[in-house]
Amino acid sequence: MKQWPALLTGLIFGMGLALSGMTDTAKVQGFLDITGAWVPDLMFVMGGALIVTLGATPLVLSRAKPLFADMFSLPASKAIDGRLIGGGVLFGIGWGLWGYCPGPAIAALAYGYESTLIFCVAMIAGMWIAGVLGLVKSRVDG
Amino acid sequence: MEAYIFPVAGGLMIGLASIGLLAALGRIAGISGIAWGVISGPDRDWRLLFIIGLVAGGALAHTLTGRPIPDAPDAPLWLAVVSGLLVGIGTRTGSGCTSGHGVCGIGRLSLRSVAATCTFMAAGVVAVFIVRHIIGGGA
């Protein structure tokens, strides 16, 4: 399998996060602060991204297979269960408390701030802990 | 509206990158899953390349455009630990984050991803409300 598209798409994704302002924790927390001085930027970022994915995903998935791989690897689960909701609650709290979700946190490692590195290490540790605690049903890409 | 050119442009790039990864390698651009996959395997190679690209993109965006780098978060380091742990536990338990559920999952009309996205957005709103307006006194 050719791997270089992963590097290229990662690069574009990281540039998009940085240009959009999502690597600024104040803007992310400002978006979530709906009763305070609301910062709508994240809504425009999500909107821009969703215009592309909503429009193009059906076209891509209508093909027999990806350009450089044998098949599409899509999440199989459709269950809206306690794991999905409980995980979403824990993630959302952490996201609000600090202002980073995983993508911006990793892209912001480029800035060299100590706190971002600490956040990312704790995040990976948390992923490991979830497995140890038996919170993960099965391996799902996402 | 001029203030939102960069958020929209950045969002379009995020969507383009997600579609590009799906079209080229057939993979979902869910950053939490990709990051954990670098640690746990299998298929580490493409995931590691994507993460390297992500960090390089974070640097390159500011170099190319001259846009200022955001200030470091103004919060104690223990909060980075607590928040990071919650994000890690939550995203792995809930099988995804803002990118995997919010951008890619909703993009392919997954109800599961719509439910997840509504949940973590709501939890984030509540967390910020408590920190800024109850504990922080409206700061």
Taking the Cβ of residue B44 and every Cβ of chain A, the question of whether any pair is shorter than 8 Å is answered with no
In angstroms, the CA A101 to CA A31 distance is 13
In angstroms, the CA B51 to CA A117 distance is 14
DSSP state of B3: G
User: Is the predicted pLDDT of residue B127 greater than 80, yes or no?
Assistant: yes
Number of domains in chain A: 1
Contact A29, B80 (CB under 8 A): no
Q: Kindly report, residue by residue over B4-18, the tens digit of the pLDDT.
A: 999 999 999 999 999
Chain A residues close to B23, C-beta within 8 Å: 60, 63, 66-67
Q: Is the peptide bond before B42 cis (omega within 30 degrees of 0)?
A: yes
Does A31 fall in a domain?
A: yes
Taking the Cβ of residue A81 and every Cβ of chain B, the question of whether any pair is shorter than 8 Å is answered with no
pLDDT of res. A1: 61
Does A138 fall in a domain?
A: no
Taking the Cβ of residue B114 and every Cβ of chain A, the question of whether any pair is shorter than 8 Å is answered with no
Tokens standing for residue A67: 């350009």
Q: How confident is the model at residue A114 (pLDDT cuts 50, 70, 90)?
A: very high
pLDDT of res. B1: 64
Nearest to B8 among A48, A86, A89 (CB): A48
Nearest to A19 among B10, B21, B77 (CB): B10
pLDDT of res. A142: 45
DSSP state of B130: I
Does A139 fall in a domain?
A: no
Q: Kindly report, residue by residue over B12-60, the tens digit of the pLDDT.
A: 999 999 999 999 999 999 999 999 999 998 899 999 999 999 999 999 9
Does A141 fall in a domain?
A: no
DSSP state of B135: I
H or E element in which residue B48 lies? helix B44-65
Taking the Cβ of residue B54 and every Cβ of chain A, the question of whether any pair is shorter than 8 Å is answered with yes
Tokens standing for residue B45: 């190679």
Contact between B84 and A18 using a beta-carbon 8 Å cutoff: no
Q: How far is A76 from chain B (nearest CA, A)?
A: 11
Taking the Cβ of residue B62 and every Cβ of chain A, the question of whether any pair is shorter than 8 Å is answered with yes
| Three-class secondary structure assignment of chain A | CCCHHHHHHHHHHHHHHHHHCCCCHHHHHHHHCCCCCCCCHHHHHHHHHHHHHHHHHHHHHCCCCCCCCCCCECCCCCCCCHHHHHHHHHHHHHHHHHCCCHHHHHHHHHHCCHHHHHHHHHHHHHHHHHHHCCCCCCCCCC
Taking the Cβ of residue A46 and every Cβ of chain B, the question of whether any pair is shorter than 8 Å is answered with yes
- How large a percentage of chain A has pLDDT more than 70? 96
Q: What is the mean pLDDT of residues A58-78?
A: 95
pLDDT of res. A137: 78
Interface-testing mutation among A39, A68, A90, A140, with chain B (most B C-beta atoms within 10 A): A90
Find where tokens 């927390």 sit. Answer: A29
Give per-residue burial for A26-38: e unless 16+ CB within 10 Å, then b: ebbbbbbbeebee
Instruction: Residue B87: name the closest of A135, A103, A127 by CA.
Output: A127
Contact between B86 and A114 using a beta-carbon 8 Å cutoff: no
Taking the Cβ of residue A38 and every Cβ of chain B, the question of whether any pair is shorter than 8 Å is answered with no
Contact between A122 and B73 using a beta-carbon 8 Å cutoff: no
User: Is the predicted pLDDT of residue A140 greater than 60, yes or no?
Assistant: no
**Amino acid of residue A55:** G
Q: How far is A39 from chain B (nearest CA, A)?
A: 11
Contact between A57 and B106 using a beta-carbon 8 Å cutoff: no
pLDDT of res. B139: 46
Does A122 fall in a domain?
A: yes
> What is the extent of the structural domain holding A112?
4-132
Greatest alpha-carbon span in chain A: 49
In angstroms, the CA A12 to CA A31 distance is 23
Q: Kindly report, residue by residue over B84-114, the tens digit of the pLDDT.
A: 999 999 999 999 999 999 999 999 999 999 9
Model pTM?
0.95
Q: How confident is the model at residue A141 (pLDDT cuts 50, 70, 90)?
A: very low
